[in-house]
Structure 1
Amino acid sequence: MKKPVLTALAAAAVLALPALAQSRELTLSTQLKNYGGDGAYLAVYLTDAKGAYAGTLWVAGGKAKYYKHLADWNRLSAGDAKRLQGVTGASVGAGRTLKVTADLADALIDAGYEIHVDAAVEDMRDSPSEIRVPLTAAGAGKAQAGKAYVQSFSYQLK
């Protein structure tokens, strides 16, 4: 399932770039393990080279009262009032795949940014920064295993 995403990078310095800045399509694929629990809440977001929050790419799970369990994302993005505009969807079931697409400024690629995925499942332990991968052209297409709930995560650049 492919969903267009309005990239919420309001906090990123990249928004200061001229209107003619180049962008690329970023497709994120997160395959969950068959962990035997309820649907997972996932927050997919970027941090800059200093580890500061740079924007939310997608949040799977619609009930805001559970966002506190996406601990790293919730802590880092708390001051970003626009963090959820156009970037939310349903939680992701065990064994299922979340695939989302966003337009991302070229300036973010190979510039020290990292993609993070926080995960939380009801009545199971939370997994902040379940995935943490550098956003590089060389890393595109390379799958990485998560710590608790993510079987594999990868991204593609077009």
Structure 2
Amino acid sequence: MKSILKISLTLLLLCFTTNQATAQSSKYKCMLQMSNYMGEGAYIVVSLVNAKGEYVKTLYVMGDDKKWYKTLKEWHKFYAKKPENLSAKTGASVTGGDRSITTIEIEDAKINKGFKLRFETAVEDHKYHTTDIEIPLSTEGIAAKTEGNNYIRYVRLNKI
């Protein structure tokens, strides 16, 4: 009986450590510099997307008033199907010329596997951009300063 208990505990411990190893993640400081546009603060969502461009996970939302989430049209379709508690992943919207520094957490297993970070932007009474920036989730992509296409001037990531 004692040997069965020892085997069971050993298997349980092995499963626990294996499960922890597959869920390893790293934190990154995300520095975002906005371009000098005129208008309200931008709502920006940072999402993990797969190689096909499909949303996998919401990493951060800049803008905490839920009534404006629908202006981030493509992300909102994903969010509406798979709502999640975003309270720990939200911060203030960012206005033209401002800088935002946040922390995002990325699963290590997603690095160098074809995933991307998508920065989607919306500004009240201005054009919406599904892909203001997409950063390849690769060793090189994370290390590089990535120029934006619209409201975002650039994004730089640094592993913490």
State the TM-score, normalized to the length of structure 1. 0.81
Taking the aligned partners of 1:150 and 1:78, their CA distance within structure 2 comes to: 25
Q: Which has the larger radius of gyration?
A: 2
1:149 aligns with 2:151: yes
In structure 1, the partner of 2:44 is 42
Deviant stretches of 4+, over 6 Å: none
Q: Which runs of 5+ in 2 are unaligned?
A: 1-17
How many residue pairs were aligned? Answer: 142
Q: Which structure dedicates a bigger proportion of its chain to helix?
A: 2
| Identical counterparts, % of pairs | 33
Which letter does structure 2 place at the counterpart of 1:20?
Answer: A
In structure 2, the partner of 1:106 is 108
Shift in Å at residue 82 of structure 1? 1.2
Q: Is the 8 A contact 2:46 2:118 kept in 1?
A: yes
In structure 1, the partner of 2:63 is 61
Taking the aligned partners of 1:57 and 1:117, their CA distance within structure 2 comes to: 10
State the TM-score, normalized to the length of structure 2. 0.80
1:19 aligns with 2:55: no
Which letter does structure 1 place at the counterpart of 2:54?
Answer: A
Taking the aligned partners of 2:87 and 2:111, their CA distance within structure 1 comes to: 23
Taking the aligned partners of 1:141 and 1:96, their CA distance within structure 2 comes to: 22
Shift in Å at residue 102 of structure 1? 2.5
Taking the aligned partners of 2:54 and 2:19, their CA distance within structure 1 comes to: 22
